[in-house]
Structure 1
Amino acid sequence: TLDEMKTIKDINYQLMEALFAYKSLDERDEQITPYVIEETKNNMTRFKSDYDQNDTSSLLISSEAFVAKSFNSNEINVINDVVSELTFNKEAQKQHMYVKVKYVKDTGEWRAKSFNFSKYVED
């Protein structure tokens, strides 16, 4: 329904903010909690690298979302075109990437189950 699509787009925008606008990776992990299923959050936390994560931050510059039709009423895919600026060890780098998010109904709420990140390389 249109209301459900609006809900998905709102949740998706908030998730992109949480994923790409943070002062530390710990802050990012805390921010994404309401938008991802528990298994996904646990996987993201488990696969963090060992580098100094307190010196990592990100700024969301722009985000555009495209909702993909799904044949499963309990699953929706959203493709995001994201531009952000990642700062690590005081060096900032602009990033342009596509982020595919698979949302599923989890206890009556739409939450992200999986992410696919594809870096966009300009010629």
Structure 2
Amino acid sequence: MVDFHGHVTHKLARARVLAAWRSGHIDKENICDAEFLLVAAAKYHGTPVNTPCPICEHNSLREVFWVYGDELGRMSGSARSLEEIERFVQNGLEFTVHNVEVCPNCKWNHLIAAAIAAPTGTTDGAK
């Protein structure tokens, strides 16, 4: 089982970006700028979100989990499923998970949250 700790949400920043876009202070091109790998990860590894994209209102909005950490080696900086994240943790690894919202249709993307994934019972940082 995965124990997530050190959870940081970026939902307020998301709301501010969307408000700035709706009021015309930010151009769509500046917020719909997902790179190819992020869009591909959303299409093939992401999970559907039950709300439409806040920009294009298409129902293709997806959630992608990116993992980062020295203990992951070459796997650091890649999109992973929750099942893969759980396997990494079962192997005793501790790493950061970024939850990113992505629309493959218009390339909207925003970091929603970040947390540290660790084996259950190690939330104090000890292994």
Is TM (by shorter chain) over 0.5? Answer: no
More strand by share: 1
TM-score of the aligned structures, taking structure 1 as reference length? 0.28
Q: Which structure has the higher relative contact order (CA within 8 Å, separation 6+)?
A: 2
